[in-house]
Amino acid sequence: MFSKEDKAFASEFLDRVVKKVTAMAPEIGVNFPTTNSNLGEWDPKGTKANISGWTTGFWPGMMWLMYLKTGDEMFKKYAEGCEEKLDEAFDIFIGINHDVGFMWSLSAIADYKITGNEKSKVRAMHAATILAGRFNHIAKYIRAWENSSLRFAIIDCMMNLPLLSFATSIQDDPRFEQVAEAHADTVAKHFIRGDGSSNHVVEFDPITGDVLATPRGQGYDSGSSWSRGQAWALYGFALAYLNLGKQEYLDTAKKVAHYFIANIEDGKLPLVDFRAPAEPVYYDSSAASIAACGLIEIAKAVPEYEAKIYERAAMKLLRVLDENCNYNQDELRLLENGSSAYHKPTGMHMPWIFGDYYLLEALMKIDGNDGRFTVHK
């Protein structure tokens, strides 16, 4: 249980965020913002995040969270508009990949859970079928990305597994969750290192399942530790525990959390990579908001005498995130200092929509209702 003081801080923080997103929403409307250039303009037409891109679920997801918090129909209208527009990605098909979980959990499943919209349920089932279809039965992993990357699995995909649990719950059919469990077991074995850090990418031989390489992905180097990847592992394994019920997944989430906690400095955002050279210094606010969500879920899942470790860490991150929010009502950017990848200077220290989404979700968890768009038990 968060202290009264922590709850009061989170509640005031949430009020600031709600006010800011309320100001941003009519400007963005039914679109798919990804980032905001240094010129201060969103990319509302989705040219950067094309309709099939992995970030298209986050704005509708934020709109559903805002609808839950405020009851304001404006947010519902934007969320529904985005969800309908996203159908184009199913039609194009080429370009959608393992990230269908991000895209349709926060849009269609959110809609189905909040309004009971049957069409949303069907959309989520389509997405789940696509995700399950990417599973390699011999090597036991869900393949990441498109044709050029036939052999890769990535840590981010832990966040897509809840979609499979949704499908199993709807069809009362274990096969979707069997895929989720097999993939999570592979990730626990081949991605999570002894010290609780994680590879971003693992290249498998798709015929034998042998591990061929661990490319650097979005981190500094092979063997280093990209902080958003650690956050995906932390929250992803917490969600795997909540959906699939295996104690090993909670233990893995805790192990990754302990590593994450040991690598954050008081009053600072997480570094883009926890194992990069001391200079230059790059931060990633999105890693903090994703990790905060996972830490709050771990805190709820463990006995009370343990929960404090995770609650304290979540609050530490949230206090830094507050300092990194842009509350200027005239600027279309909320959380500053997100970074796309260590070796991508053009994506460094900018607002990214996924940072905003998980910040809002973390605050709403503490507020008491985050919609449970990715928890299906």
- Which chain residues interact with ligand GLY by CB under 6 A? 54, 156, 218, 228, 340
Contact 27, 318 (CB under 8 A): no
CB of 290 to ligand GLY, least distance (A): 9
- Residue 356 or 367 with smaller CB distance to ligand GLY: 356
DSSP code of residue 156: G
Q: What is d(CA 143, CA 150) in angstroms, rounded to the nearest whole number? A: 7
Angle at 318 between CA 18 and CA 305, to 5 degrees: 120
- Residue 63 or 158 with smaller CB distance to ligand GLY: 158
- Dihedral over Cα of 134, 135, 139, 143: its sign: positive
Annotated catalytic residue 99: yes
- Residue 159 or 244 with smaller CB distance to ligand GLY: 159
Among 123, 193, 198, 90, CA closest to 153: 198
- Residue 196 or 217 with smaller CB distance to ligand GLY: 217
Element (H, E) at 153: strand 152-154
CB of 218 to ligand GLY, least distance (A): 6
CB of 273 to ligand GLY, least distance (A): 13
CB of 146 to ligand GLY, least distance (A): 14
- Dihedral over Cα of 68, 69, 70, 76: its sign: negative
- Residue 62 or 299 with smaller CB distance to ligand GLY: 62
- Residue 120 or 217 with smaller CB distance to ligand GLY: 217
Which residue type occupies 315?
M
Q: Which residue among the candidates 43, 91, 111, 156 is catalytic per the annotation?
A: 156
Contact 159, 172 (CB under 8 A): no
Q: Which residue among the candidates 6, 72, 91, 99 is catalytic per the annotation?
A: 99
Q: What is d(CA 59, CA 66) in angstroms, rounded to the nearest whole number? A: 10
CB of 89 to ligand GLY, least distance (A): 16
Q: What is d(CA 303, CA 307) in angstroms, rounded to the nearest whole number? A: 6
CB of 286 to ligand GLY, least distance (A): 8
Buried b (16+ CB within 10 A) or exposed e, 200-235: bbbbbebeeeebeebbbbbbbbeebbbbbbbbbbbb
Q: What is d(CA 243, CA 96) in angstroms, rounded to the nearest whole number? A: 24
Active site residues: 99, 156
